[in-house]
Structure 1
């Protein structure tokens, strides 16, 4: 907690962003987007983003707003544009955005490799855009399907054990002093954004187009491909994590289910094993 409090003079704008995320997911859209605007203004004033990057993000929001009204080839073009825009922000390729370095070559434990973490503000924008483009993710509910939900949870447990068996991680129990900032960043800036994009948006869209199985598999493969920079092993692990989270979303229709599954997997990795990899 002391480490987190020491960061507050620098990280406080992201607390506004996190509250905005919670509000829009609670369907309090006007207040949530109002706070998002406040966050954007603060980020602009303190130099975290420049005016041109801000305009690109606002244009993305405007396009996403009109996307549900489009049909046919114009709708397809709109979705391709939104996906491209989202991938650009998710990969931090938009010039003029400056992430905040909060962890610099720290170690979770003696057996872990050095770890660096930034608080970013470009990737979380994807959450707001896909909520505008696919608002059904906030309202879709299904009777809980126990079997696929259980299968998703079991798959995550298997993957943790597979990591030990393959030597990708080693047991190392304990939490570092920076666990709270890691948890907030991972839950809201990473897991929430990724699950909204890959499960709430892509899995749902592909399911409408080609059925639930295609949506589940397609979104999982795309999630794996998004981790191509980490090599084929990480891509395979990511695709299977995506499959597990996708089962959670299919089983419940609640976006928070895959978000919490994804976050629990990452947090258990930090708490119980070498993170991110053995040193």
Structure 2
């Protein structure tokens, strides 16, 4: 059956087109980058109507495309530098942050390709939800025990820009991709266990640039958020779990790590 585009999706794409036009005018996005994104959107619309081998090939291609955008490998995005070698506290190492304009393109694209991720609430599964939430403080405790982070209570003056960027450009985008799209897609074909495991492992692998320890921590965080999504079917649950973990890391520990 041919899948149609909803009115909300049309509105969202219209607003995105306006954002893209403004970004092009300001030089934040080049025509090459805009072209890559447009191809991705078109491919997502085609993908939602494919089946069988072609659908599998399309999803693999889309995953590679999304990872390339999320890893900032697509040329033509001039992401503004908003924090330059700042410290969250005296014990923390320097932290630099860009306002990434490429990562949110992943959110819009996978929402077009896999619209069933939205509105898929399920009857609450209390035990998986409790396990998912319990993993978050446990992960911070383990990180502190192995000196990957150290206790340091602080609220840096730049916390507002960090919170907004982290919530909307990092947590929302990553959870829509890894949980709403990838976990949901794999679970629909191979079961929830494999869906959670595969999405969590890939979430860890994309963080391997920060070292094997970070990749391991990210895998566990992915599993916690994956359990939250599985337990509720609501995307806002893993988004808030992810954001709450990052906020606790910033306020209660050295961020991103000890100096």
Q: TM-score, normalised by structure 2?
A: 0.96
Aligned-partner Cα distance in 2 for 1:217–1:196: 16
Shift of 1:215: 0.4
Give the equivalent residue in structure 2 for 1:143.
123
Give the match for residue 4 of structure 2.
Answer: none
Q: Offset of 1:29 from its aligned partner? A: 2.3
Cα displacement (A) at 1:159: 0.4
- Name the SS for the 1:103 alignment partner: strand
The alpha-carbon deviation at position 146 of structure 1 amounts to 0.9
The separation in 1 between residues aligned to 2:20 and 2:173, in whole angstroms, is 17
Do residues 170 (structure 1) and 170 (structure 2) align? no
Show CA shifts across 1:241-270 (max 9, x none): 000000000000001100100000001100
Match of 2:254 in 1: 274
Task: Tell me, yes or no, if structure 1 residue 95 matches structure 2 residue 75.
Answer: yes
**In 2, distance between residues paired with 1:90 and 1:250?**
24
Give the equivalent residue in structure 2 for 1:24.
Answer: none
Specify the SS of the correspondent of 2:84.
strand
Q: Distance in 2 between matches of 1:124 and 1:208?
A: 25
Indicate the residue corresponding to 1:15 in structure 2: none
Match of 1:58 in 2: 38
- Report Cα offsets for 1:148-190 as digits up to 9, x if no partner: 1110000011001111111111111121000000001100001
Unaligned residue ranges in structure 2 (runs of 5+):
1-6
> RMSD of the alignment, in Å?
0.9
1:28, distance to aligned residue in structure 2 (A): 2.8
TM-score by length of 1: 0.89
Match of 2:224 in 1: 244
Report the counterpart of residue 4 of structure 1 in structure 2.
none
1:210 is the counterpart of 2:205: no
Which whole-Å CA distance do the structure 2 matches of 1:127 and 1:85 have between them?
12
Alpha-carbon distance in structure 2 between the residues aligned to 1:168 and 1:44: 40
Instruction: Measure how far apart 1:31 and its partner are.
Output: 2.3
State the partner residue of 1:77. 57
Name 2:135's counterpart in structure 1. 155
Structure 2 counterparts to residues 32-47 of structure 1, below 5 A: 32-47=12-27
Provide the residue aligned with 2:29 in structure 1.
49
Q: Note the C-alpha offset of 1:106.
A: 0.3
Q: Does 1:220 align with 2:220?
A: no
* Cross-structure match for 2:111: 131
Unaligned runs of 5+ in 1: 1-26
CA distance in 2 between partners of 1:59 and 1:161 (Å): 43
CA distance in 2, matches of 1:35, 1:172: 41
Distance 1:224 1:142 in 2: 26
Which whole-Å CA distance do the structure 1 matches of 2:137 and 2:130 have between them? 11
Residue number in structure 2 paired with 1:112: 92
2-structure distance, mates of 1:157, 1:128? 31
Q: How many residues align?
A: 253
